[in-house]
Amino acid sequence: MMKNQLLSKVYQVLEPGPVVLLTTAHKGRANIMTLSWHMMVEFEPPLVACVVSNRNHSFAALRATKECVIAVPGVELAPKALRVGNCSGRNVEKFERFGLTPAPAERVAPPLVAECFANLECKLAGFVNKYGIFILEVVKAWTDPAQRNPKTIHHHGYGRFVVDGEMIRLKSKKG
Ligand SMILES: Cc1cc2nc3c(=O)[nH]c(=O)nc-3n(C[C@H](O)[C@H](O)[C@H](O)COP(=O)(O)O)c2cc1C
C-alpha cells in the first residue's frame, strides 16, 4: 500500500546530486556555498542549470560578477559541505573557517577548491529570475588525478546523504 507523502518532502525523493560547492568572488572576497539543485542542460559547450536562492549571499555575487566555480567534493568532505551549507558568507569567512583551500582558477576570478576532485570554471549564460535558475557555461574543467575513485554524495534532506555506489557497465549506443 502506498503512503501519502508531504509535498514539502518531495525534494527529498528527487534530489539529484551530486552535492557540489559553488564559489564566487565579489568585492575582493571569495565565498562558498553548498548546492544540490542542479542539472546538465547541454553536452558542449557544457551548460549547467543551478538553483541559487536569492536569500543566499552567493546569489548577489553571481548576479553581479556572472562567474563561479562548481567544485565537486568526495564523500570525505561531506561534513564540511554540510557546515558550509549551514552558514552564510555574510558573516563567515567560510574557506578559513572550514579549512578549505582556495586555488586560482584560469578563466574566472572565483577560486577552485583544492580538496575537491573536480572543479568547473563557469560563466553565466542565462538567468531565470522567477526561479533563481542560473544557466552556467563551463569554460574550463579540472579533475584531480590523485583522487582515483571519488565517491560523490547525494543529499536526501537534513544532513542525510547517499554515497555513490557500485558502477555497472552496460552496452549503450548513446552517451
Ligand atoms: C546539502 C545542502 C544542499 C543545498 N542545496 C542548495 C541549493 O541547491 N540551492 C540553494 O540556494 N541553497 C542550497 N543550500 C543552502 C545553501 O548552501 C546555504 O543557504 C548557504 O549557507 C548559502 O551561503 P551564502 O549565504 O554564503 O551564499 C544547500 C545546503 C545544503 C546543506
Q: pLDDT truncated to tens, each residue of the chain (175 aa)? A: 999 989 999 888 888 789 999 999 999 999 999 999 999 999 999 999 999 999 999 999 999 999 999 999 999 999 999 999 999 999 999 999 999 999 999 999 999 999 999 999 999 999 999 999 999 999 999 999 999 999 999 999 999 999 999 999 999 998 7
HSE-CB of 3 using CA atoms within 13 angstroms = 4
| Residues 58-101 pLDDT 10s | 999 999 999 999 999 999 999 999 999 999 999 999 999 999 99
What is the structure's pLDDT at 128? Answer: 98
Give, for 33, the enclosing helix (H) or strand (E): strand 29-35
DSSP output for 109-125: SSPEETTSSEEEEEEEE
What is the structure's pLDDT at 170? Answer: 96
Cβ–ligand 1 contact at 110 (below 6 Å): no
CA of 33 to the centre of ligand 1 (A): 6
What is the structure's pLDDT at 174? Answer: 83
What is the structure's pLDDT at 172? Answer: 93
Which atom of ligand 1 is the closest one to the Cα of 34?
Answer: 17
Cβ–ligand 1 contact at 35 (below 6 Å): yes
Residue bearing cell 549564460: 125
CA of 37 to the centre of ligand 1 (A): 9
> Which residues pair with residue 42 across a beta bridge?
47
pTM, full prediction: 0.96
